[in-house]
Amino acid sequence: MIFGRSKGLVGLDIGSSSVKLVELKPLKGDQKWKLVNIAMVPLSPEVIVDGSVMDSTMVVDAITQLFTENKIKSNDVAIAVSGHSVIIKKITMAYMAAEELAESIRWEAESYIPFDIDDVNLDYQVIDEEDRGDGNMDVLLVAAKKEKVSEYVSVVQQAGKNPVVVDVDSFALQNSLTANYELSDLQITALINIGASVMNINIIQGGTSIFWRDISFGGNLYTDAIQKDLGVDFDTAEQLKQGESVEGFQFDRVIPIIKSVTNDLGVEVQKTFDFFKATTSAEKINRIMLSGGCSRILNLDDYLSERFDAPVEMLNPFQSITYNEKQFSSEDIHEIKASAAIASGLAMRSGGNKQLIHINLIAGKKAGTAPKTAKKSTGQQSELQENAILIMSVLLAFALVFTMRHFVKKELRKQQTEEATLKAEWEQLKHWEEKKETYEIQKELLNEKIKTISDLQDQRQGPVQLMEDIYNVLPESIWLKEIRQGYDRGLLAPTKSGRKVYQLPGRNLGTPREFVVTGFASSAEAITNFANKVLSMNQRYNDTVLNDIFQTGGGPQEYTFNLYFQTKKKKSAEVPPDGKAGGG
């Protein structure tokens, strides 16, 4: 433990793996700080899970231990919350006085907070109090679920301490950065704090936050991956994650596991940066600052620098903070600085630095209530009583105006949403209507092609039709040798053996509708069956003659045959009086 003595506001960072404490003393004149106390107590992984306190006794004991061992006199504490129960919005409102803003902010918040407004603690801060010239102003709006705030306030109170500030992790980090570094108005800095279970990303331009996001990703994922892959317990996995030597395990076995989880971390950061660029005019992150215990993971800084093409450095929450080197060694400061950024930013809330974010979600401080006024003197009370009715009437009128304004804005936003939905549906219908017209044209063209193909099939005749018909009835025992177009019966003459042959082979014989088919067969029966099947095609052929079958010798091609065809003429458009179509 590292300790010192003083009395002031104590920054207390209650994290998933440890409770960190920082106490600072503001120095006069230059708005600098001096370190008074710094300490940390580890927590078991089951004490706080996903930001929820599961074992309040262990947290109370850790807080008590920190204050007792370090002899801290102050009981006033600043704490912070984060996660999905916290909503941060930057909204633009019409420029108004502080008193009017305090009255109207609650009505305005209902439009931006996704929770019931009665279920949250609300606070706000005007980002730039000067009139920017267009009649508007930017307001930082912050809300946290009451149950979340109460959970953390309760453990502090059980430890006998007084929680006077409930901040947000991202703004505590920003305060720590602003107090320790000179920030250019043109430079965009991504402040990434990686704890045990939550990663806070706060993107800052100059000294102003312009984007925030909390992600359920932290050092526990590294530990879980090592446990799963190596089959070790939690404590062993923690040692290996931190680069410590463990008997029976070489650190080389851990490196690929760490690289895999680091890549997943990079994906989450990439999503955040992409969304930031898509919703703002920024094109590049100029610098990345890391903090949190998990920021010391092996080669994480080099990986992020290479992936996002930006310099990466560790946030030093004590860079501009003085300390007694006899009380705090540089080694101790170096060892704890990565984990102390949030606690350091919380401890700075005891000063009056106007450059810091001063959000406070404590239940007793409710946004939307008017500031209390001082008591009037006895002489003034009479005048106030006389005008009580008038004042009440004015207040009721203001309340009615604000109520109507809220109702009108809500209805207008609802109508705008419905209009946008209908417009999107109309555009989609137009898109499908255009596609339908395209499909109808394509369908028409396709039908025309199908009709053309059908017509061509119906008009087939001559050799093409003949070859298709022969193919359909040709048995495996028949081999065709030749199909020739045109013959003349007058040129067929019998030989001495009685066989009919052509007298003038090779000559164009007869009409184009006449064909001769020559082939071989293994048996005379096969030729006869084939000829009978062809003869049955009388719907297309009006003259089919099987010439004599003659034997040529042994083997599978023992018999030779000739078949003669004459196709029918295509029917003309007009049928002759005898009712018969023209033939050959």
Placement of tokens 């120095």 in the chain: 27
Are the C-beta atoms of residues 295 and 338 closer than 8 Å to each other? yes
Please state the pTM of the whole predicted model: 0.60
Model confidence at 376, in pLDDT bands (50, 70, 90)? very low
Instruction: Report the C-alpha gap between 325 and 2 in whole angstroms.
Output: 12
**Beta bridge mates, 565:** 515, 544
- Asked whether the predicted pLDDT for residue 117 surpasses 80, the reply is yes
Burial (0-12, 13-18, 19+ Cβ within 10 Å), 408: exposed
Tokens (6 digits) for 371: 């500031």
Placement of tokens 């936050």 in the chain: 209
Instruction: Provide CATH code, domain 463-567.
Output: 3.30.1360.100
Q: What is the mean pLDDT of residues 525-529?
A: 82
For the chain, how big is the Rg over CA atoms in Å? 47
The DSSP H or E segment spanning 419 is helix 388-458
- Asked whether the predicted pLDDT for residue 190 surpasses 90, the reply is yes
Are the C-beta atoms of residues 357 and 140 closer than 8 Å to each other? yes
Q: Taking the CB of residue 564, how many other CB atoms lie within 10 A of it?
A: 19
- Asked whether the predicted pLDDT for residue 307 surpasses 80, the reply is yes
Query: What is the DSSP annotation of 39-81?
Result: EEEE--TTTEETTEES-HHHHHHHHHHHHHHTT----EEEEEE
* CATH (one of 3.40.50.2300, 3.30.420.40, 3.60.20.10, 3.40.50.410) for 217-312: 3.30.420.40
Instruction: Provide CATH code, domain 1-181+319-370.
Output: 3.30.420.40
Placement of tokens 């939690």 in the chain: 234
Choice between 175 and 571, residue whose per-residue pLDDT is larger: 175
Are the C-beta atoms of residues 498 and 548 closer than 8 Å to each other? yes
Are the C-beta atoms of residues 133 and 141 closer than 8 Å to each other? no
**Beta bridge mates, 22:** 11, 38
Model confidence at 370, in pLDDT bands (50, 70, 90)? very low
Model confidence at 387, in pLDDT bands (50, 70, 90)? low
Are the C-beta atoms of residues 259 and 193 closer than 8 Å to each other? no
The DSSP H or E segment spanning 530 is helix 524-535
Choice between 374 and 456, residue whose per-residue pLDDT is larger: 456
The DSSP H or E segment spanning 312 is strand 312-314
Range among 274-283, 364-373, 406-415, 480-489 rated most confident: 274-283
Over pLDDT 70: what percentage of the chain? 79
Q: What is the pLDDT of residues 84-112, one digit of tens each?
A: 889 998 888 888 888 888 888 888 888 88
Least trusted range by pLDDT, from 68-72, 381-385, 547-551: 381-385
Model confidence at 555, in pLDDT bands (50, 70, 90)? low
pLDDT at 271 (0 to 100):
94
Alpha carbon 321 to chain centroid, angstroms? 40
- Asked whether the predicted pLDDT for residue 503 surpasses 50, the reply is no
Instruction: Report the C-alpha gap between 11 and 318 in whole angstroms.
Output: 14
